[in-house]
Every structure is written in C-alpha cells, then in structure tokens.
Structure 1
Amino acid sequence: MPTMMNNDMVILENESVTLPKGFNAGGVHCGLKKNGKLDLGYIVSEVPATAAGVYTTNIFQAAPLLVTQESISKEKKIQAIIVNSGNANSCTGDQGLKDAYEMQKQFAAELGIKEHYVAVTSTGVIGEKMPMDKVISGIKQILKEENEAESKFQAAILTTDLAPKNIGVQIKVDGKIISIGGAAKGSGMIHPNMATMLGFVTTDANIEQESLLAALKEVTNQTFNMITVDGDTSTNDMVLVMANGMAGNNTLTVDHPEWNIFLNGLKLVCQELAKKIAKDGEGATKLIEVQVNSASCQSDAGAVGKSIISSNLVKTAIYGTDPNWGRIVTAIGYSGVPVEPNLVKVSIGSFVVFEDGLPCPINEEEVKQYLEQDTIQIFVELNQGNYSAAAWGCDLTYDYIKINASYRS
C-alpha cells in the first residue's frame, strides 16, 4: 500500500528503479558468484538521462569508478548502467581498467548507444582479475526478455546482503507527477564519508545537471554519509542518479519555486535506502538511530551522531541489551565537538539516562526490555543551538566476525 506523506509526496515501498517513466532493469547469472546466484545487472533509460554521481573517498578507487566518472564528464549524461557483483575489479592495474572499458563497450554495443553513455560498477572481492569471458557472455544474454525484472536487478547487485533494498516516491511538480526510484546494496564495509555501498536512483524529472549534482551531494551528506556498520570505507562505492526528463515538467533548478519538493523526495529515497543498509549490516540484529538536537551548527550535530553510531562499545552494548549510557556519553566526549557536559541530555528510547552532568535513576529491567526491540533510538540534546542531525547504524554481533572471517570462501 502506498503511504501518503502529505499532498506533495507518496511513498511506494515495493517500487524501485523502474518506477519512473522510461526505465527498465534486469539481471542474470554469468558465473561470478556460486550456486547460480544472479551477479550481473543493468538499468537502461529509453533516452539519454542527465546524470550525477558521488564516489568513495578511498584513495584506491576501483577501475569502474574511473570509467564512470570519465563517461559522465563528457556530456553529463548516461543512458545505461551495467553492474556486477562477485568481483570488485579493484587493485587490478591496467588490465582492470581495460576490463571495465570492455564491459562498457560490450553493453553499449548490445544497446546500440554511445560507449560513454554506459556507466560501469562492480562490487565483490578486491584484487582478483575479472573473468571477462563470463562477463561478456552474460552481457550478450542480459537483455533477453526473461531477464527483465527489477527484482532480478536488485538480486544481481547483492554480496553479503540478506535482503534487497529499494523504495519509490512520487511527487508533483508543475502539475506533473514525478517519480523517483532507488535501489542499493550494502551490508559490510559501511562507514560515513560517501557511505560505502552502491546506490542507484532514477527519476523521470526534467532537471539541470548542475542542480542535480548539488542535490545529490546535499542529500548524500544527510543520508548515506550518516550511516555506519563497521568503520571501513571501500574502494568501489558510488551513488548514481539518472534523470531522463520524461515526466515533462519545466526544467528543475535550485531556483525553481518547487525545488524543495524534488529535494525532499530525493532525500526521502536516499534516507530510506541508507536506513535499510544500516539495518542489514553484516550479522546485525538491530537498527540503531541516533538523533542529535540543539547543536550549535549542522556539522557539530552530524559529528556527534556519527561518533555515537560508530562506537563499537555502543554497538556491542546494544547487542547485549546493556543500558550502558556511559559508552554513549564517552562517544560524545571524543567526537571533537566542544560540548558543555552539564548541558547534555541523553535518552535511550523514552528513558532519560544522563542529564545535568549526572546519571539519572532508571529501571534497568525496563530499559533492557526496550533494548530487545529491533529498532533502537538514542536521543541527545546538546542545548547549545538550533541544529539537528540523524545517524543510523546497527549492533555489532558475533556473526559479523564469522561472516568476514570467511568472506572469500
């Protein structure tokens, strides 16, 4: 069932990247992953789409990222994305770059479009050469009708994820219905700072490229860059947005009177994807949401939230249903934000655990019962200003170690 946020926005939980007009998606198994699991996916727009991307800050950027950034720089447009899981094509030298270009070339040939209209993305094990015979064979099969399903695309991009991550939103701009759809993968190697993941957002909005890029950067800082699972930033990760203009609205720019409607729709899609990634952290049993209020500036609010959500001690306490508020206060203290300790108030759910520089009396059993839920909220009031930020993460469990100890096996 669709969820009506207000008169301007409808959330469609079961929709994804094919919700906007003119987009198709699908996936196949080409042999990069075991047991017949899908491992090669695509998104295609009927027409070239205005494109924008944000990329990992890891210095060791994988070959597909370099190819994709170069492609978008030529016309600020792409028409298709080819993505594989099971092999990162990272730290593979000149051969890895040639292989990424070859993936682009082969898929462009299948579609009959310019090569630089194809973006390339990869995820999986680092340092292994891409078995191009399998990939090329998969590309030649991928556009067959039986492979056309967004659910197949979502499955093809997963690695250690336990569940697909998707969301759709519809808004109204200039009297036209505009759709925004998103899909993402991410479970491990997730940390704020261009959240380590692959994210794909499509929209049929007509939008200026410079404004689209500005919107993506702004929204990324408030969503994908506010999640963490394990503190690792990967070599491959990016978020790409394609806007093909088929909704027929007047061109959106930051000066458009209804710009904020589009911006809020994009933010909601990215926020929901970010939360799904945090909830599906490797071995995780709980989603943790930290809400920081009354900070002196936006960056301070974000820094405190990230510090708490990144603390392994906080994460393990949540896993163990231990209301150890001291770990939360400690994370605030080393966040680098100059807070006044006697002004800080900390709550776990509805339970105030720290205020005026002192612990508050609590019923530990009641708090432990709250911590047994699958979504845990931590609230921090800094009482130093009017700025707020939210951050998301997950608990840290024994299974995280098991998964990553045998990742390549």
Structure 2
Amino acid sequence: MTAILSQSPTWTFPFCPEPPDWFLDWDSIQNHFDWIKNLKGCQQDPIYHAEGDVLIHTKMVCEALISSTNWRQLPEKERSILFAAALLHDVAKPAFTKIEADGRISSKGHARQGARMVRQILSQFEPPVQFDIRETVVAIVQFGSLPIWLIDKPNPQQSVIKVSQVVRCDFLALLAEADVRGRQCSDRQELLDKIELFREFCQENNCLDSPRQFPSAHSRFIYFRKDNANPDAEMFDDTKCEVVLMSGLPGSGKDYWIRENLPNLPVISLDALRMEMNISPEKNQSEVVERAKQRAKEYLRSGTSFVWNATNTTKQMRQQLIDLFAAYKARIRIVYIEVPIAEIQDRNRSRTAPVPEAVIQKLADRLDIPDRTEAHQVEWIVADPATLGAMPRS
C-alpha cells in the first residue's frame, strides 16, 4: 500500500530530449547542474572505460539512451525517469574513485551511495519531485548494474524477483544497455549479451515489466527470508500478532500518526524510554534498545500486537528488529513517514527535547526507505508540502 499525498499531474526532467528531433542540450545540462560539473576529470579504468573521464562517459550514456527505440517508445514520464537515471548513474564516482595498489582505478560502493545522493538531489528540486518518481530513479541508479552481474549472483532467480519488487527490470536493462554502449571497451558484445540474457531470465520469471506476484503477502515475506524458496509456494500463515514498525526521521510526525491511526495499540517508543532512563540521543543507545526489546518480547510471547516507534532509517536497523519479531511469529507492517528535511529541522527546534541537528542530518544521509521485500505490508506516508503548516508537531 502506498499513500502519496502530493502528486503532480505530469512530470518531466529538465532538458530531457523530446520528439521529433530528440536533441540533447548538453551545454544547458552542464550549466544547470553542479553535480554534472563534478564528474569532469574523474578518472576511470581504461580497460573498461577507454572513452575518458566520467563526464564524457555520462554524455555518451545519455546519447546511447536517447537513440534507443525502446526508450523513445516509452511514455513521456518514463522517458524522463530513465534520462534522469542516466545523468545521475555515476554521480558518486568522484567521491568513491581511487587508484589501487596495482595501479588500477576503482570506484567500489559508488552505486549504493549514488542512490542516496540521487535522493538528496531530487529532493531539492522545485517543485519537489514526486515520491514514487524520485524513488524509481534512485532504484535504477542503485541496481543499474544487475543485468551485467546477474549470472555472478548466488541466487539469480531471487535477485531478479527481489529487485522487481522495487523497480521495473526492463528499466534496469535499458540503462545497462545505454551504459555499455556509452563506453569504449573490448568486451562490449559480451556485456550486451548478458543484458539480453537478463531480459529473457526476467521474462521467464514473470518480472520483466512488473513485480513478481506471490500467492500471498506472507508467502512473499517468507520467500525473501530463505535462500532457496519457491516463489510459487503458498506458505501457511501462522502469524499470531502484528507489529507496526515505524520508520522516519525525527520530527517526521510518527507520534502524531500513531495517535491518529493506532490509538488503542501499546507503543514501545525509544524516545520515551530515553527520557525515562535519562539517556541523551548522543550517548550509547544499547541500554535503551535492550530495554525496548525486553518489552517487545513480553508482548510477543502473549501474542499482543504493538507499535515499535523509532527512526529505523536503515535497512540494517529494521532487519535486526524484523528478525526478532518474525521469530515470535509476528506479522510485520512497516509505516514510513516523510516530510521535507527543512520542515523536520524546523519542527525539531520547537521540540522540548530537540535532537541535535547533526544527528538528524547523519540519519538523512544514510536513509534507506523501506521496500516490499522487508515486511508483510509497507506503507509510505508522504506529506503534502502545501499542508505542512497545518500539521501538528510531534
């Protein structure tokens, strides 16, 4: 379930080429975006990128993409999404590129961090980029290399089915193909063959242009928690209670949402426990978390549904808790709440016990938005900027 409170009727990325001439206004792109300028002079391994620096490569990728018949046949919004992903796919390379001891050039980790940078960049657009569009671009950047590396994955089937829950696999194939055609390398045809194999494999697994469907939400949840599960198997639902796992930056409105939507459920709040135990958010939180887990186990043993209220801004944070809840046969529902970072900082200053701004910024920089592979149910509550002034602060 997705709750998007603000949606634009149409959206196009600035300078995205349009018919009939499909002109790429590269000069305007370079003059308009600072992050494009940062790509100039960033070296690449000449074995894989003999064309030159990252800026040259990015332009070639965009040219390859907009020359693609498959891209030109897409609706306008989808063309814009892929064009944005092509421009941004290597945005983190300048920060992650280094020369190894053997003289080779690498940029390990740039895709994951690049996805987070893309989220920040698109969040600063005016007007703000619609949530589902923004997160589609983020996902394409993060998983754009999967078509090339699929056969090296321990479980290729689960890899494509999992990513299909987040982004269309045919979008990944389109970007990967443009990425390969937008470089000079000796193994180009081999890479293109891998991408075509990826398309065929996704088609065989019913997840090329839509998410792979499961017999039930519980079957989907169990499938992604096992290494060699059958995606067609309907799993017996033996859950005994529901845990609502809140996720969102401090000041996003989690407390208010709980009061309005789940007033009768008990709440385990890390903020409340910190105050109860007189522990600052800047101090070690292990005692607070341990106390919260003990209370959670009491509810879980008795089969009592409850809310776990904390930031839970990274997948790693959430996974540890989900493992605990699932071990007690709980049904997991994640509720993610988002408001613009400027509003969050403003709300935080009005709190009786404000969170240090550096802590909020650190959480924002490392944010992993929940996806459907993590829980039985995921909801994304995204505030309409036009109504923020009327929303209660919490």
Q: Higher strand share goes to which structure? A: 1
